[in-house]
Structure 1
Amino acid sequence: MIDVSNDDRYLRKLVDETALRRYLEDALGEADSVSIARHDEGHSNETLFVEWDDREFVVRRPPAGETADTAHDVLREYRTIDALQETAVPVPETVLACDDESVIGSEFYVMVREAGDVIRETEPDRFATPEHRSTIAAELVDSLASVHAVDYEAVGLGDFGRPDGFTERQVDRWRQQLEWAFDVTEDEREVPELETIGEWLRANVPTDHAHALVHGDYKLDNVLFEPGTPPQLGAIFDWELSTLGDPLTDLGWMLLFWHDPSDPEPPMPDLMATFMAREGYPTRDELVDRYERQTGVEFENRRFYQVLAAYKMAGLGEMFFRRYLEGNSADPLYPKMETGVPLLAEQTLARIDGDRPL
């Protein structure tokens, strides 16, 4: 039976248990015991945990309701993970992808569930030493470097994107995502600072950049650390925004979610943890230094990339807020975007003006 410890009504929007079970039997074989539960930690594509007798799987599908174009392309996510199976990039084992929306009401894919910890609000007790904290950061940076080092032609992703002009298109894309959200959210409140930030980004976008496979949502709580010590990064999740483009956009995004001891309180505390201020965790500057050593790439135009990351987060937050207003999410984070997005925009303007450190 379905685990209804989360919002039962929303869970039933996401999956017809009988139809999914019938579909999976062809790939996984029959099972005496099947249970399905919604994972409530993610905030974008939906994650369902499936217990199939003594095996555990993950089903990924878009959220219920209308979504912005390209924002929740789970089959694109599957293609990336599947292509990386034999590379140095740590990813979960893929099982199948389904483009038949009649099965559960959307496209979806299935992967093996990995054991370990995703670090969100704080570190696991077994990692609570300065040495292990330093290793966590090193693993995070080094795994990002491994993503950017992938020969995307060799793994079959040569047609996965248009890296020329990628960064400029990112600015335009997230402006469009914001406009999609504003169609509904502006009836509640406006965020005029985001127009100013968008104008600054368009005026300062780098015209030349490296070409690489980019993750699009790379940060500490989108990776899993294996059981035991020392910390070892076992899998990178949430590839829905992956494409070919500018690798420094990934680095800027990762830094947005890394808290330095001198930082103010984060504008979105549910998404932006502060435990990285503890002894042993490196600063953002030190993360940048390690990335540059690992890749041989200098982090030029750093202010631009960190402002772009905040602009993207504002776009995501505003899309979250729209889905909340339309009743298309049970996520308790989404209504908090009413105040979180304006505060993030205010802090980002201060970064543009040099009133906040990078």
Structure 2
Amino acid sequence: MSEDYYERLVDEEALAAYLTDHLGDVDDGEYAVERHQAGHSNETLFVTWGDRELVVRRPPPGETAETAHDVLREYRVTEALVDTDVPVPEPLLACEDHDVIGSDFYVMERLEGEVLREAEPDAFADADSRRRIGEELVDTLAAIHDVDYEAVGLADFGHPPGYTERQVERWGQQLMWAFDTTAEEREVPDLYEVGAWLQDNVPEDHPHTLVHGDYKLDNVMFGTDDGRPELIGVFDWEMATLGDPRADLGWMLSYWRDPKDPDPVVPELTTTFMERDGYPTRQELVDRWESRTGFTFEHERFYRALAVYKLAALGEMFFRRYLEGNSDDPMYPKMEDRVPALAARAKRIIEGDEPL
């Protein structure tokens, strides 16, 4: 990461002054800020504040598509879920004053545990742990969908009717925003075909629940309970709203691998260790979600194709930010080829060539 990019992310002096005003002086004088490199959307900063370990979340610098990086939305939903069955880190502060670090941001307590992103922890490399990881993942998704959103103060957090249709429209708009710049490099005609099919096949009705919007294995953290994996935190709520729970399930499944699957089209964003013996299959995850929620996963090709369409739109937005010099993420330039591959995958799902 370049020093210039880091300076655009955080003014350490201004952040320290803000934290002092709201949390008090650092007990032993220790203050350090470190950028977390694993994410590809909002920026995450780890902050040592005396004997406390904190996390600061902020959008990336530069122009972003409207609503794509709403960190204060993350703060509100996390605050609402603290006393529910959905495990979240404790939110502490939210700031709209751009004079502090140049953007909205919020501060939360840092959890300690394992995020299963690139490799399977040795402690979890047995059949029982593998099964439990999948079950904990889908059970927590069911818990999100079971939240009484009115009771926790989120009745105005979204407009559930028409959510799925708006998703198709919104992600099409995000693509158009990206294409304004990226089309000068290359076109992705398959995405126009996928978008048209999704518009023509939007389910007429769906359940109304709280939805996470980006629920997947590496957006949760596992601790241990008597040596067994226990899901202790759900992160990255920037796209949360009230909407269609089947869209969350389709998104989670788009990242989950079965042993029979072809090679991933975006290896940089694909974890493959769940292909090993012991992990539940996608169908088993669907069956468990249905039994936990009482919902059925109807129109599964639509929801899985929508998930990959959204991934393609995100990739194209990344590619635009790379072309404009607004990110130093080494994955972003690879989207020139990865997005067309995602578009082809969405078409395979639609045509039944990549079954559940």
TM category (shorter chain) comes to over 0.9
Q: Does 1:35 align with 2:32?
A: yes
Conservation of the 8 A alpha-carbon contact between 2:41 and 2:59 = yes
1:227 Cα shift?
Answer: 4.5
Distance 1:143 1:182 in 2: 36
1:245 Cα shift?
Answer: 0.3
Task: Spell out the pairing of 1:1-358 with structure 2 (5 A cutoff).
Answer: 6-31=1-26, 32-227=29-224, 229-358=227-356
1:63 Cα shift?
Answer: 0.3
Distance 2:47 2:265 in 1: 34
Conservation of the 8 A alpha-carbon contact between 1:117 and 1:227 = no
The alignment covers a number of residue pairs equal to 353
Distance 2:229 2:296 in 1: 27
1:269-316 Cα shifts (integer Å, max 9, x gaps): 111111111000111111101101111111001010000000000010
**Secondary structure at 1:172 match in 2:** helix
**Secondary structure at 1:77 match in 2:** helix
**Secondary structure at 2:308 match in 1:** helix
**TM-score under structure 2 normalisation?**
0.98
Unpaired runs of 5+ residues, structure 1, are 1-5
**TM-score under structure 1 normalisation?**
0.97
Conservation of the 8 A alpha-carbon contact between 2:308 and 2:345 = no
1:8 Cα shift?
Answer: 2.0
Conservation of the 8 A alpha-carbon contact between 1:62 and 1:106 = yes
Distance 1:225 1:247 in 2: 23
Conservation of the 8 A alpha-carbon contact between 1:161 and 1:245 = yes
Q: What RMSD in Å do the two structures reach over aligned CA positions? A: 0.8
1:160 Cα shift?
Answer: 0.4
Unpaired runs of 5+ residues, structure 2, are none
Conservation of the 8 A alpha-carbon contact between 2:258 and 2:281 = yes
**Secondary structure at 1:232 match in 2:** strand
1:351 Cα shift?
Answer: 1.5
Question: Which of structure 1's runs of 4+ aligned residues deviate more than 3 A?
Answer: none
Distance 2:325 2:138 in 1: 37
Distance 1:244 1:183 in 2: 30
* 1:80 alignment partner AA: V
Conservation of the 8 A alpha-carbon contact between 2:89 and 2:110 = yes
1:5-58 Cα shifts (integer Å, max 9, x gaps): x43221110100000100110122112111001101001000000001121000
Conservation of the 8 A alpha-carbon contact between 1:257 and 1:272 = yes
1:333 Cα shift?
Answer: 1.4
1:352 Cα shift?
Answer: 1.0
Conservation of the 8 A alpha-carbon contact between 1:36 and 1:48 = yes
Distance 1:117 1:187 in 2: 41
Conservation of the 8 A alpha-carbon contact between 1:49 and 1:56 = yes
1:90-146 Cα shifts (integer Å, max 9, x gaps): 000011000111111000000000000110012111000011000000000000000
Distance 1:132 1:7 in 2: 39
Q: Percent identity?
A: 63
* 2:5 alignment partner AA: Y
Distance 1:336 1:236 in 2: 28
Distance 2:320 2:224 in 1: 38
Distance 2:13 2:265 in 1: 42
Conservation of the 8 A alpha-carbon contact between 2:149 and 2:209 = yes
Q: Choose 116-125 or 246-255, whichever is displaced more.
A: 116-125
